[in-house]
Amino acid sequence: MKYCYDKNLPWTYSKNEMELVKQKGNGILYDSELHRFEDFDHNEIDITGEVIFPRTGVAQIYDLLDDIVRQGGTPAFSKDEMEQVRKWPKYVQTKRTGHMLTGKDLLDEEVIERLEQIYGTEFFMKTLRKDFSGIIPIELLKDKECAFYKTLVHHPDTEFFISEKVNIEQDQYGKKEYRCFVVDGEIYNISRFTSRILHEIDPQVLEKLQNIVASLKGSFPKNYVLDVFEYELNGEKDLDVLEFNSIDASGLYLYNSCIEKSDDLLHKKPRHVATEFRSSLEDCTSEGKITIDRQNLYSIPDTFSNDLSCMCTVGILGVRVFDAHISPEDFGRHVPIFNIGKFVNPVKFDDDLARHPVKEKKM
């Protein structure tokens, strides 16, 4: 199997991953402009009969998959499998209550009434495209004049995962969230959401992951990224699926790799991090807090989050005030943060018919 990277993307953040496959001799490059595959010396190569494992951007993956097939290769995962991972709530039941709904569903009064009966005054909401997530008050679905409701109107087909609001458990390192890379149906490695805090993995976390992966064999793709978390709900603690992610563009944390399978899943060996992070090992510590500040992707066009930002800031879609900060409190706005009229200069036309007559000065 060959790991493949788009040479035209700014791969600064994954240069160690590319260096690893270069050393192992199992990596290739893809030129998206010339639609060809190359070795690391930029010589064109033939991929006929090769299994290709794409690692690229979300926007580039479909073209890359097409070119792999067109040139005789076999993708390690297909578009259909990626779509199944993206729509994971259809195939995986979480312990906490959850639903997959569209924007149109969320505007239906009967659906809103049922959601209120199930979740109460607020719930957790996330787009399946992962550009937006947050705790949403049920009242925003009833207020037809607020920015959130108006944005939903323009996203009838956008898919959302709705679930109970929970309190994420914490320890000395911070929130107890874990990322697991699954390659060819096997757990390759597990890491908490950090690139510098050394840590061990609780055996119960590994057991939970093993049970989930085993339960999906034969009914779910073999390559994916699984995130789990520990939480408290109604006085009881639990470990559950947070989400699944497509493996082509998912980021790595300190012990994660899609290239090398770990022989120490519980991290019992001191400082035994993934090879991709060995060069920065001297900066790692076993103390400190994991600080993950998830930001909604307000700057990405044609997404729910971008349109919500536009609606909150200026009140119309397609116009966004860059660097403008919005908070969940802004979702309920009836009046936008900025008056767009202040940013637009009126256009003046030279129209003789519209001019006031000017008296000539007498000499």
Contact of 60 with 11, CB cutoff 8 Å: no
Give the pLDDT confidence score for residue 355 in this predicted structure: 47
CA atoms within 13 A on the CB side of 216: 28
Q: Taking the C-alpha atoms of 205, 296, 220 and 95 in order, what is their torsion angle to the nearest 10 degrees?
A: 50
User: Can you give the residue ranges of every domain in the chain?
Assistant: 2-76, 170-283
Structure-token match 């950090």, residue found: 194
pLDDT tens digits in sequence order for the chain, 363 residues long: 999 999 988 777 688 999 999 999 999 999 999 999 999 999 999 999 999 999 998 889 999 999 999 999 999 999 999 999 999 999 999 999 999 999 999 999 999 999 999 999 999 999 998 899 999 999 999 999 999 999 999 999 999 999 999 999 999 999 999 999 999 999 999 999 999 999 999 999 999 999 999 999 999 999 999 999 999 988 889 999 999 999 999 999 999 999 999 999 999 998 999 999 999 999 999 998 998 666 677 888 889 999 999 999 999 998 877 767 889 999 999 999 987 666 555 555 555 444 454 444 444
Angle between helix axes 79-86 and 61-70 (nearest 10 degrees) is 150
Cα angle: 207, vertex 213, 215; to 5 degrees: 100
pLDDT of residue 361: 47
Work out whether the CA dihedral 272, 277, 282, 287 comes out positive or negative. negative
The contacts found for 275-278 with CB under 8 angstroms, 24 or more apart, are 275/16, 275/20, 276/14, 276/16, 276/17, 276/20, 276/252, 277/16, 277/195, 277/252
Count of other CB atoms within 10 angstroms of residue 265: 19
**The CATH number of domain 170-283 is 3.40.50:** no
Of the candidates 296, 328, 321, the one whose C-alpha atom is nearest the C-alpha of residue 131 is: 296
pLDDT of residue 346: 52
Residue 175 Cα distances to 42, 178, 192, 328, angstroms:
43, 9, 9, 21
pLDDT for the residue numbered 280? 92
Which pLDDT value is given to residue 360?
47
Euclidean distance between CA atoms 25 and 243, whole angstroms: 32
In this predicted structure, what is the pLDDT of residue 345? 54
Q: What is the pLDDT of residue 1?
A: 96
Please list, in sequence order, all residues whose beta carbon lies within 8 angstroms of the beta carbon of residue 245, skipping any fewer than 6 positions away: 85, 130, 224, 225, 226, 227
Q: State residue 8 phi and psi, 5-degree precision.
A: -90, 0
Q: What is the pLDDT of residue 363?
A: 44
